[in-house]
Amino acid sequence: MAASDTCAGDTPSRRRAVWLSPPLLLLLIQGCFCLSGPSTVSGTEGGSLSVQCRYEEEHRTRAKFWCRRWCLPGWEIVMTKPPEVEARSGRVSIRDHPANLTFTVTLEKLSMQDAGTYQCGVDEPWKWDIFLVMVLVSPAPATAPTPAPSYGGPTIPAMTLPAHTGEKPPEPSPHPGSLLGSVHGLLLVFLKLPLLLAMLAAVLWVNRPQRGPGRGQVS
């Protein structure tokens, strides 16, 4: 059977599939293999990953979409709008490559909550053309703290203060002038003062009054 016949099948439209339970949907889409791609992709928390899905020639002009878990109409995370081949919604972008019949979905700034089951698909009015992809996200490796930058300027020497021992500083020596004054005072008391007294006594002796001749003596 040709690929186009396989995709056509008796699959209900996406609008009608809204009311079907997930297990029944799985049974209905088993015969549609118009899309292919990786079954599992992985990335690291904080990084990004890309998923490339391949489609058939008949889907070249159709809109391409990316959604999570069970994709109901209007629940697409991101979807192209022909003739535009690229679309973005937040951290998720999709780009169609009609030349090689592929489209690429890119998830940026991954978080642990991004892990789960997704679908890449082609929007058709009477077909349910999807491909399931499991996205795995591993925790980001721990990073060592960045050391503070060192200052490259001149080094200032540290000031060292003298240790306090509790002893009194030595008293300053007396001024030489005061010592000479003390010696001069001692000389004045013990040498000059007796000499002055002796000179004063000699002056008094020389200047003492003279006695006249006796009254009873005959001239």
Tokens of 125: 């009015």
Structural domain contains residue 190: no
Alpha carbon distance 170, 130 (integer Å): 100
Question: Given this model, what pLDDT does residue 124 score?
Answer: 82
Other beta carbons within 10 Å of 36: 14
Report if residue 110 sits inside a domain: yes
Q: Is residue 43 part of a domain?
A: yes
* Joined tokens for residue 97: 């490559």
More confident residue, 56 or 33: 56
- Domains contained in the chain, number: 1
Domain membership flag for residue 56: yes
Phi, psi of 104, rounded to the nearest 5 degrees? -120, 135
Taking 60 as the threshold, does the pLDDT of residue 167 lie above it? yes
**Domain with 72 in it: what CATH number?**
2.60.40.10
The whole-angstrom separation of Cα 188 and Cα 194 is 9
Judge whether 204 lies within some domain. no
pTM (two decimals): 0.52
Residue 76 covered by a domain: yes
- As a whole-number percent, the residues of the chain with pLDDT over 70 amount to 58
Q: Which domain holds residue 123?
A: 38-140
Residue 77 has pLDDT above 50, yes or no: yes
Let me know if residue 92 belongs to a domain.
yes
Is pLDDT above 90 for 164?
no
49 — pLDDT class (breaks 50, 70, 90): very high
Gyration radius from the chain CA atoms: 59
CA dist 95 and 184 (Å) reads: 116
For 49-115, the DSSP string reads EEEEEE--GGGTTSEEEEEESS--TT--SEE--TT--EEEETTEEEEEETTTTEEEEEE-S--GGG-
